[in-house]
Structure 1
Amino acid sequence: MENQSFQAGDIVYVFYRNPHTQDVANIQEAAVVHNPEKDGELALFLYETYYPITNELALYATEEEANQAYNYYYGNN
């Protein structure tokens, strides 16, 4: 999905890896917001942290889309 199609206020779904257990990934809901550190840019707000939105992030508009991608990449074992 093209990240440029999102606007501040949108709710998106992302894969989030636990920083303490790197082999565990979960789908998390996050908010697209105006980046407080860079005027005119958007950021992802997740767990009280702002993440710049880059092409390296896979953002999904619905939880269903995120679940389908998760099952594709991580399997449904």
Structure 2
Amino acid sequence: MNEYQPGQIVYVIIRNPHVQGVANVQEAAVVNDPNSPGKVALFIYETYYPLNDEVAVYPTASEAEHAYSEAFGLSDMGTYYG
């Protein structure tokens, strides 16, 4: 995950924790991880998330939209970017 630098804007597919089966493409900021000096994290919805190999991160919204479409089999996602 060394390819990401603080200040970058990336896109992730994130599930809504309150509604089962709902996910969307979300803009995220790469930031210095306040809990792990020397590492970076994703900052989404006022929360820090670990940036590791378990998170699918896309450099552009269109790449994230394509992955979303492939994963969920939808042609019109109605995505939201925060």
TM-score normalised by the chain length of structure 2 = 0.87
What code does the residue aligned with 2:67 have? A
Q: Which residue of 1 aligns with 2:62?
A: 64
The corresponding residue for 1:10 is 8
Q: CA offsets, 1:7-38, max 9 Å, x none? A: 11000000111111120000000000000111
Aligned position for 1:41: 39
CA–CA distance in 2 between the matches of 1:22 and 1:53? 23
Alpha-carbon deviation of 1:5?
A: 1.5
Name the structure where strand makes up a greater proportion of residues: 1
Amino acid at match of 2:46: E
Secondary structure of the 2:5 match is coil
What's 2:80 paired with?
none
* Aligned residues with identical type, % of pairs: 53
TM-score by length of 1: 0.92
Greater helix percent: which structure?
A: 1
**Runs (5+) with no aligned partner, structure 1:** none
2:19 alignment partner in structure 1: 21
Name the CA distance, whole Å, in 1 between partners of 2:2 and 2:40: 9
Report how many residues are paired. Answer: 75
Q: Distance in 2 between matches of 1:67 and 1:57?
A: 15
Q: 2:3 & 2:61 partners in 1: Cα distance?
A: 17
Give 3-state SS (helix, strand or coil) of 1:5's partner.
coil
Give structure 1 regions of 4+ aligned residues with deviation exceeding 6 angstroms.
Answer: none
Q: CA RMSD in A?
A: 1.0
